[in-house]
Structure 1
Amino acid sequence: MASRDASGTPHLTLPFDAAAATRLGWTLGDAITDDGTRTARLRRIGGTVRGAVHDVGGATVVLVRTPAGRERYYELPTHDVESALTAAVERGFRRVEDAPDAAHA
């Protein structure tokens, strides 16, 4: 279920607390996650939001794919991968397995 801010604008349900994250530009996010650092893929239960968790040198970067197919990158500098995955499960996401020939999430 999407939340709304004070203006009534709907927001995506993210697999982490957005207040604790730093949104990265697409070019930077794509560049730092393109080296095969993905450790987990996520899918929103009952929804179409997908994500991928990347361990990038002491920080955790989460790629979120919106229902419209847009990619957004967020850095969780104080989280390790396991705490990011725990938060995702608490927010209604589940970890999904890669298909044998799957590319990025």
Structure 2
Amino acid sequence: MEDLDFSRLDVALAIYDANDDPREAELLCGVALRKDDLEAFLHDLCELAERKYGGMRFARLLDEDEDDEAMESAYVRWKSDSLSRVIEEAERCLDEENRHEGR
């Protein structure tokens, strides 16, 4: 195996999901690369998001989504996910209480 020069990886990028609870943001992925490659990497990442996953760059989204449909959709999804977590936690608490009471 060839020797890797880790010192060349001078930029670390991380993507977190902070929509659920910003105090407990979940690390989704991380990557280290050379700073000289950062601009090209970000360009390629945006191209991939648009081409393969139907995403949209924020600049275009701001220009074309006049009614903020994307933001509204994200908010509705976040609210629904939050409610589901609250219900799951309530059910877990009730199940635990029932076990303690021998039901």
Range class of TM-score, shorter chain: under 0.3
Greater RCO (CA < 8 Å, at least 6 residues apart) = 1
Greater share of strand residues, 1 or 2? Answer: 1
The TM-score normalised by the length of structure 1 is 0.26
The TM-score normalised by the length of structure 2 is 0.27
Greater share of helix residues, 1 or 2? Answer: 2
